[in-house]
Structures are given as C-alpha cells and as structure tokens.
Structure 1
Amino acid sequence: MDDLTTQLYLISPLEVGGEFPQRLERALAAGKGLVTAFQFRVKGLDQHDAARLAEPLQAICAAHDVAFIVNDSVALAKRLKADGVHLGQDDGSPKDAREQLGRDAQIGVTCHASRHMAMEAGEAGADYVAFGAFFASSTKDKGDAERPKPEILQWWSSLFEIPCVAIGGITPENCAPLVAAGVDFLAVSGAVWNGDEVAAIKAFEKAVKGR
C-alpha cells in the first residue's frame, strides 16, 4: 500500500462483546497500513468488566501493530497497560495522565471547535488533539455544540507538529474536505461498525487516496 498521509483511528461501538472481536480482526486486517489506532469506548461498566472486554481487543490490536487507546479513564488505561488514553475536557489534564501512564503513553484531548483548547492541550503535553464533531454523529451527541470547519485542521497542521484528529459523523462520502485540509487521522465509528466493516475500510481507503 502507498504511504498515506491521512490514517484511520477506529472508535469502538458501545457494545464490544459477542462477535465484535472477530469484526475488529477483519477491520484491522483489511486496513493494514491505514488503520493505526483503535479507541476502546464503553460506558457505565465497572473497571473489572471493562478490562475483561478490553483484553481480547487489545491483543488483536497488538497483533496488527495498532495503538490501543482507552477513552476517558486514565485508571483503566493504567490497569491495561494500554498504549494511551483519550481525554475529554472533563477527564483531567494531559500532564496528570502523563505522570500516571509514563512518557511513552499516547495522550489525546478532545478540543471541539476551539483553537484555544487545542493550544492549551499541546502545551500540557498532549500527543494529539481531536476536533469535532464535524458532522452529525451518534457517538458525539452534543447536537448544539459548535461545529468546526475544515479550516481549523489546515490552521493546526500549518503551525504545529502535534497530529490532529477529526471526529464526528465521518464517512467515506464526506471525508474529502478533511483529508484535503491536512488532517492526520479520521476518527470513525458508525461508518464502519453499522454495516460491513471490511467494505467500509476499503471505501475509506479509496476516499483517502482521492480516487
């Protein structure tokens, strides 16, 4: 596969039991070189149950050389020895997460449509910043939140070396302006898991390559 400047960052559906490990395996096999990170995102489970669900998925990611990132919980990321953690604006600071997880952890921060939040996150030691939701999304349910424009990705990429992630309702059909703006990662969930995951990954690959 050609070297791609924009890569995929898969976000799990909320249900990750049952057949999901097999689906993840198929998606990562189909997206070799394109999918470079996977975020484990579950809600309302205690840490023990979350860890039990995470372990097989973490092993699949390791086998495919895909970073395994835990959403929201520094404690769970530490317990799993995950590759990193993704922090919302209410989940603590990158500085504190770094102290707990060590210097090699990948720490990402949700910055919505705010340039100021993104610069603050970078100064606090974030490894990547995430902007969104760019489009209507079932995983990002703040319908009244300000939507960023692709220009914010262009602005960030031209000034900073820290990678940027676009999130929120992204599909193979609507991602072209984000790719053109220089986004490093497209964070995708429903567009992959709500149908045939292999076909979706292949469609994203074509869209990212611009053909």
Structure 2
Amino acid sequence: MTPSCRLYLITPPRIDDLATFGRSLAAAMDAGDVAAVQIRLKDQPEAEVAAAVDVLAPIIQSRGAAVILNDDPVLAARLKCDGVHVGQDDMPLAQARKVMGPDAMIGVTCHDSRHLAMEAAEAGADYVAFGAFFPTTTKDASTRAEPEILSIWQEAMETPCVAIGGITVENARGLAAAGADFLAVSAGVWAHPEGPAAAVRSINAEIALGLAERA
C-alpha cells in the first residue's frame, strides 16, 4: 500500500476573534491538503467552544475535512462534530463511542506508549496520537516520543497514527518519513512568520519529501 501522511490542524488554545480566525483558517485550508481540524480551546467556557464550532465547522467541512473536538465527547455529540479526541484522563474510549456513535472519529492520546496505543487500537480507536516529538509551547507535554515509535507502529499495526508536539515546517519531513499517518500542527502553522497559508503549503511540501523517503 502506498504510504500516506496528511496534515491535521489544531486551533490555538484561545481564539479572541472568531471571524478573523475563521478567515485565517479558510486561507490556510485553501493553501494545501488538510485532513482534519481539531478545535482545542483549553479551559474555555462551553458556550465559547460551542460558538467556535458554530463558526468554524462550516469552513472546515466545506473543504472536505473533519471537525474534531478536543476532550469532550458529550459536547462533541451535541454540536454534531465529526469526531472527538480524548486524553488518558478524559472519558474512556468505550464510553466515548457510546456517546458519539459508531460512525464518529475518535482519537486517543497515547504519549510515548505503544502499550497504551495498542489498547486503544484494540478498543476501536480510529487513530492513536504519539508525542510530544519536539518541545512545544501549546501544552505542557509530560512525555517525549522518538520517531522510531512511528516506524514500529506502522510495521505492526493498521490503526493510523498521529504525530503531535512541536511540529513545524523544519521538522515535519522526518516524521512523515518515519511513518506518521498524520502530522498534528498548531503553533507551527498559526505562528509561522509568513502566515498560516504559507505554513500549510510548506508543510505539505515537506510531507511529500518525507513520503518519498518512506516509499
């Protein structure tokens, strides 16, 4: 099977101006391939998260990408998101599946642990996320993963794997080459000096180079 790797955007942890961010998101998505966008507004009131989904979901879905909500399966189901991403301290996968339904996309944070990832895959996760691969300012990453975990996972398992944590234009290629099915990027896009659209174009170019090495 031909190897594949796609960009998975994550919103900034705060969005102060939804209309302005929506335009930025649209421009970024129009600049290159984006598989999914995770709306990740940490510690924000539920009403603000709902407002963000209301504004951003049509932008995301009209471009053929999935809307993933972070942490909260109940809210994700109520807002009709395409999926939810849960951490090890969030609602268990089996319960999240009952809440979200059989067709929803559910991803699970697995840090640097193949054991956690295998448990999630066997329980029906649609993807597992490994990280952080690099230092990140977006969240407090308690673990550091090595690219080798992606290669080992790719050889042994069919459940897609997401690489997350400090990913930028400069380091995306190596993770694509190592075996990531998706690269989850936040600050590496939104804080790029040439703007989010330029970042998406550049990361997609680096992914293509990484896939060429992996083939």
Q: Which amino acid aligns with 1:91?
A: D
Is the 1:4–1:209 contact (alpha carbons within 8 Å) kept by the matching residues of 2? no
Is the 2:14–2:42 contact (alpha carbons within 8 Å) kept by the matching residues of 1? no
Residue 76 of structure 2 corresponds to: 77
Pair 1:86 & 2:61 matched: no
Q: Secondary structure at the match of 2:136?
A: coil
List runs of 5+ in structure 1 lacking aligned partners. none
The alpha carbon displacement at 1:180 in A equals 1.0
Per-residue CA shift, 1:94-147, capped at 9, x if unaligned? 1111111101100000000001100111111110000000000012313xx331
The alpha carbon displacement at 1:46 in A equals 2.5
Q: Which amino acid aligns with 1:25?
A: A
Q: Which amino acid aligns with 1:24?
A: L
Residue 23 of structure 1 corresponds to: 24
- Provide the rounded CA distance (Å) in 2 between the counterparts of 1:43 and 1:205: 27
Of 147, 153, 169, the residue aligned with 1:156 is 153
Of 187, 190, 198, the residue aligned with 1:190 is 187
Task: Name the TM-score, length of structure 1 as normaliser.
Answer: 0.93
Q: Which amino acid aligns with 1:21?
A: G
Identity %: 49
List runs of 5+ in structure 2 lacking aligned partners. 211-215
Q: Secondary structure at the match of 2:50?
A: helix
Is the 1:168–1:188 contact (alpha carbons within 8 Å) kept by the matching residues of 2? yes
Is the 2:150–2:161 contact (alpha carbons within 8 Å) kept by the matching residues of 1? yes
Is the 1:70–1:84 contact (alpha carbons within 8 Å) kept by the matching residues of 2? yes
Alignment RMSD: 1.5
- Within a 5 Å distance, the mapping from 1:51-70 to structure 2 comes to 51-70=50-69
Task: Name the TM-score, length of structure 2 as normaliser.
Answer: 0.91
The alpha carbon displacement at 1:148 in A equals 1.1
Say how many residue pairs are matched: 205
